[in-house]
């Protein structure tokens, strides 16, 4: 008896990232209604299914779509506008002055470019926080990725709202607007401890509980943040947030760089997840997050690119390479952050950081979110260990196809849902707008 399915995907190698980390040579994957029905050896899966469509990818490696655990997708429009500066100077002198003039059109164009870059480099889901988030959701809806996103909440006016009350009301409105979209989920996203008050953080937490949403915050990113937090609130960032009830299993903290051993234990005991941003932390010289120690204590850690203004790419393949290298150097131990551990962070760890079970693996019942790399690429020949290639050799530009919920969104240079050349033309106008706002 054969089972009908929408699509049968065949490839030379399938890296499933399932519980056994099964790797299948000469494999196939049956997909129906956007969900993986079966994955296994080509002959067995093909014999058991009657597909409406066959997609034979030949000498390709199919893997779960990568999950970007922390980004500001729309910030692609500020890529390269200011580099080589400390975090606070960079933010206050170059980023905030442009962002105060933001419009929905600028955010939507930047976010669509971010989605294009992520699809092009094998990312299918991301955890986003920015201003005028409704515009980012529109871009995500157009491009077809999955997104957990939230309106950045500040204790001062933003381009999206005049005060914090209106900011929290906007979160409710966004939740109502997008709650029935299967690829877009809402999150409560207070920006950081240094841009909010204790009362505002508590109101964010209460709202997350009330609406049953995840909460995502920048935390313990730099020693400067720690000093500010101690000066303003008399505590270091992690115990400060814990005291306000902010660290729970629904929480994802981005960065978690400046941590004491006790704070790592505290994070572990709360069940909060961490989004680790190695390249952003290196570029802004924020430090190296103690990731091996966090993993050893059972904290779920995903990998994020942060925004393109501080990275400067949204490429999770190069981010995996950087992650592995950073921890080996930090620990002066080449056995630190091995390839499979890093690949796990970029897939399953990302699913935990997005509080979205089923992402980051290709197993029956999981969403058919995947990407396929061309194994004929010179830098991927020969192959002994797929995880090694994905973390140390791939650059993301070997990606031939990216699919979300069984739908092809990128294939061989073409984006299926939007007009990429028109977007490139639009970004030229956006660049002129930015230079005007900076008085350059």
Omega before 36 cis (within 30°)?
Answer: no
Contact status: 279 vs Zn ion (CB under 5 A) = no
C-beta closer to Zn ion: residue 156 or 435: 156
Residue nearest to Zn ion (CB): 306
C-beta closer to Zn ion: residue 58 or 86: 86
Asked if residue 11 lies in contact with residue 32, where contact means CB atoms within 8 angstroms, the answer is: no
CB of 192 to Zn ion, least distance (A): 9
Distance CA 22, CA 349 (A): 17
Stretch that binds Zn ion, among 102-110, 306-314, 332-340, 421-429 (CB under 5 A): 306-314
Distance CA 357, CA 363 (A): 12
Contact status: 369 vs Zn ion (CB under 5 A) = no
CB of 290 to Zn ion, least distance (A): 19
C-alpha distances in Å from residue 281, one per residue of 67, 257, 376, 409: 19, 8, 33, 31
CB of 187 to Zn ion, least distance (A): 13
Nearest Cα to Cα of residue 426 among 147, 119, 116, 128 = 116
DSSP state of 15: E
Contact status: 306 vs Zn ion (CB under 5 A) = yes
CB of 231 to Zn ion, least distance (A): 22
372: β partners: 62, 401
Place of tokens 């009301």: 169
C-beta closer to Zn ion: residue 218 or 327: 218
Q: Is 235 exposed, middle or buried (0-12, 13-18, 19+ CB in 10 A)?
A: middle
CB of 307 to Zn ion, least distance (A): 6
CB of 68 to Zn ion, least distance (A): 11
Q: How far separated are the first and last CA of the chain, in Å rounded?
A: 68
C-beta closer to Zn ion: residue 78 or 339: 78
Read off the tokens for 68.
């970007």
Stretch that binds Zn ion, among 39-47, 106-114, 299-307, 374-382 (CB under 5 A): 299-307
* Beta-carbon contacts of residue 305 (< 8 Å; ≥ 6 apart): 68, 70, 71, 277, 279, 280, 311, 313, 314, 315, 316, 319
Q: How many helices (H) and strands (E) does the chain have?
A: 17, 18
Stretch that binds Zn ion, among 33-41, 54-62, 300-308, 365-373 (CB under 5 A): 300-308
Stretch that binds Zn ion, among 87-95, 298-306, 327-335, 341-349 (CB under 5 A): 298-306
C-beta closer to Zn ion: residue 127 or 426: 127
C-beta closer to Zn ion: residue 306 or 319: 306
Total binding residues for Zn ion by CB under 5 A? Answer: 1
Contact status: 108 vs Zn ion (CB under 5 A) = no
C-beta closer to Zn ion: residue 57 or 74: 74
Q: Which residues bind Zn ion (CB under 5 A)?
A: 306
């Amino acid at each position: 008896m054969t089972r009908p399915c929408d699509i049968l995907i065949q490839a030379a190698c399938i890296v499933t990232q399932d519980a056994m980390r099964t790797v299948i040579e000469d494999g196939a994957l049956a997909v129906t209604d956007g969900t993986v029905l079966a994955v296994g050896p080509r002959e067995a899966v093909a014999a058991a299914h009657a597909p409406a469509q066959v997609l034979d990818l030949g000498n390709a490696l199919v893997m779960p779509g990568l999950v970007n655990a922390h980004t500001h997708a729309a910030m692609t429009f500020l890529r390269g506008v200011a580099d080589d500066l400390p975090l606070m100077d960079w933010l206050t002198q170059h980023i905030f002055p442009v962002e105060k003039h933001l419009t929905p059109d600028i955010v939507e164009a930047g976010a669509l470019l971010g989605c294009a870059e992520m699809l092009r480099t094998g990312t299918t889901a991301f955890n986003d926080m920015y201003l005028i988030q409704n515009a980012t959701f529109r871009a995500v809806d157009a491009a077809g990725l999955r997104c957990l996103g939230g309106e950045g909440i500040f204790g001062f006016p933003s381009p999206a709202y005049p005060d914090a009350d209106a900011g929290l009301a906007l979160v409710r409105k966004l939740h109502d607007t997008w709650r029935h979209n299967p690829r877009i989920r809402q999150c409560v996203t207070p920006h950081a401890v240094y841009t909010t008050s204790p009362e505002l953080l508590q109101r964010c937490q209460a709202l997350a509980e009330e609406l049953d949403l995840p909460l995502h915050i920048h935390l313990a990113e730099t020693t400067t943040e720690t000093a500010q937090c101690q000066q303003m609130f008399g505590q270091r960032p992690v115990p400060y947030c814990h005291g306000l009830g902010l660290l729970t299993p629904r929480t994802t903290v981005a960065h978690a760089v400046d941590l004491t051993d006790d704070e790592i234990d505290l994070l572990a005991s709360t069940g909060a997840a961490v989004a680790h941003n190695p390249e952003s932390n290196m570029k802004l010289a924020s430090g190296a997050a103690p990731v091996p120690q966090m993993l050893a204590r059972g904290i779920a850690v995903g990998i994020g690119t942060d925004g393109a203004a501080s990275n400067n790419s949204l490429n999770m393949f190069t981010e995996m390479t950087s992650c592995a290298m950073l921890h080996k150097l930090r620990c002066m131990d080449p056995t630190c952050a091995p390839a499979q551990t890093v690949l796990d962070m970029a897939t399953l760890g990302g699913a935990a950081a997005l509080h979205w079970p089923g992402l980051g693996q290709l197993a029956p019942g999981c969403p058919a979110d995947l990407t396929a790399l061309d194994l004929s690429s010179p830098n991927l020949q020969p192959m002994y260990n797929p995880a090694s290639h994905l973390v140390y050799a791939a650059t993301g530009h070997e990606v031939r196809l990216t699919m979300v919920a069984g739908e092809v969104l990128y294939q061989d240079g073409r984006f299926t849902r939007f007009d990429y050349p028109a977007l490139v033309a639009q970004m030229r106008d956006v660049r002129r707008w930015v230079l005007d706002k900076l008085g350059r």
